[in-house]
Amino acid sequence: MTNSWNERFNTEEYMYGEKPNAFIEKFSSQLGGLKNVAAFAEGEGRNAVFLATLGHEVTAFDYAESGLRKTKQLAKKNHVEVNTVQVDLLEGDIPAEQFDGAIMVFGHFPKEKQSLVFNKIVNSVKPGGKIMMEVYSEDQLDYQTGGPKNLEMLYKPQDLLDWCEGRKILHFFVGEQTRHEGKLHKGLAHVIQLIVEKNN
């Protein structure tokens, strides 16, 4: 099967830009004091590199070899190091309780697989660690400013709230945000944000 993400990132240009996602940048203090942080579905590495510049030890996970290569390039440009792991989050194994925190920005998967991916992410974090995510909601289809064009690849707020049950919710937001991230995220968007703490 062709890896469309590998093809998308196989460019000189950073398709989503080199700056971090605004949500990750704004709430990065939530990861303060957490040494090892994982960045899942990290693409070309902009968020991983940003967190590395703050002093975190960061491991970027992605399906696309070209994206991970660009992550290394961006890290070098910013005089930091980022570990990279090529993995399909739907099929591959993720280490358990290895990280103090984890992020995922616009990692989109089929609805029937979303909880599987979320559970892998939370399982990768040690008790007391934090997970931060920003994803597009189903309403994003009306905005046409980025993200999947398929409803089955977008998220329902209630599904994420259900997944958060039993975990300490530090931040949950659903609504409009402006995102200017490279050439593929441009303008007003409809997103879901969450920050949760793993209790056990």
Summarised one tens digit per residue, pLDDT across range 78-119 is 999 999 999 999 999 999 999 999 999 999 999 999 999 999
CB 165 within 8 A of CB 118: no
Quick one: fold of 4-197? Rossmann fold (3.40.50)
d(CA 39, CA 104) in angstroms, rounded, equals 6
What average pLDDT does the structure give for the chain? Answer: 94
CB neighbourhood size of 5 (10 A): 18
d(CA 125, CA 79) in angstroms, rounded, equals 26
Measured in degrees and rounded to the nearest 5, phi and psi for residue 199 equal -85, -35
Question: Residue 3: which pLDDT band, with cuts at 50, 70 and 90?
Answer: low
Assess whether pLDDT exceeds 70 at residue 44.
yes
Question: What is the per-residue pLDDT for 165?
Answer: 86
**% of the chain beyond a pLDDT of 70:** 98
Can you give the residue ranges of every domain in the chain? 4-197
d(CA 181, CA 21) in angstroms, rounded, equals 7
Pairing mode, strands 185-197 and 125-136: antiparallel
